[in-house]
Amino acid sequence: MKGKNYYIPNVLSIAGSDPSGGAGIQADLKSFSANKTFGMSVITALTAQNTMGVQDIHLVPEDFIESQINSIFQDIIVDAVKIGMMANSSIASIISKNLRKRKIKNIVIDPVMVAKGGATLLEKDAIEIIRKDLIQIADVLTPNLPEAALLTNTDIATTKSEMLTQGRRLLDLGAKAIYVKGGHLDSKNSPDLLITINDEIWYEAPRIKTINTHGTGCTLSSAICANLAHGFEIETAISNSKQYVTDAIKNADKLNVGQGHGPTHHFNNLW
């Protein structure tokens, strides 16, 4: 139900759970809230993880994932959807089928494949489903460099030129926009690249000295999703989100969570 003077968008995350709160559904909901939207979730997988790594994964049955999606859409207007951990081809197909029949706007796909600690979060058979099916419904695809390499079947980019080439290949697969995250690049700054049919825009930010970067990809894609739900054009949504995540990383060391890669500070601008 819309308010009288101001409409708060409803934004859905379809992703895995992180009980330590730094990534996955938990990070998405924090990012949605910090970017002034109402967050909802459909859980695809339960993980046992912390700042040290992933210890175990339990996949949610496909029919129950579908039931969660149906429950949301039967009752609530959904203004944007972020897709994160899909785990395997069956779950990826269920998500695609259910979103296609509803013709959802503002779909952001973060192709979560490997956790920061190295654990595999996506089976190989799901990569083809993402390539041939899910990318076509995406308003924005947000791969990091290893993910872009897997999706384009190439080596991991080591230069901005290679990032650009891989981004163009991904755009050719059918998404409206590709946002390649260059955090893995060996450079002084952290360059990200937005590619659309009409533009190629670089977003540069200085690297921040901290090990507390757990869940940055989830946080960024969710922020982009929230900004799109507010009606911002893609360039503005990306710019706003990049600044939000940069500030969250800058303030991450104020938190005291775990002994490994700690989370970013999602509410640094509010606390």
Considering only 73-82, 112-121, 168-177, 250-259, which range has the smallest mean pLDDT?
112-121
pLDDT interval class at 119 (50, 70, 90): low
pLDDT interval class at 118 (50, 70, 90): low
With left for phi above 0 and alpha for psi between -120 and 50, is residue 51 left, alpha or beta?
alpha
CA 17 to chain centre: 13
pLDDT of residue 117: 61
Q: What is the pLDDT of residues 203-252, one digit of tens each?
A: 988 888 899 999 999 999 999 999 999 999 999 999 999 999 999 999 99
Angle at 268 between CA 264 and CA 271, to 5 degrees: 135
Q: What is the pLDDT of residues 142-167, one digit of tens each?
A: 999 999 999 999 999 999 999 999 99
Pairing of strands 107-109, 38-50: unpaired
**16 DSSP assignment:** E
Active site residues: 181, 213, 215-218
Alpha helices per DSSP H over the chain: 24-34, 62-75, 89-100, 124-132, 145-152, 160-172, 216-229, 234-250
pLDDT at 116 over 70: no
pLDDT interval class at 115 (50, 70, 90): low
pLDDT at 122 over 90: no
Name all domains of the chain by residue range, CATH numbers in brackets: 10-254 (3.40.1190.20)
Rounded mean pLDDT of the chain? 92
CA distance 232 to 226: 9
pLDDT of residue 109: 97
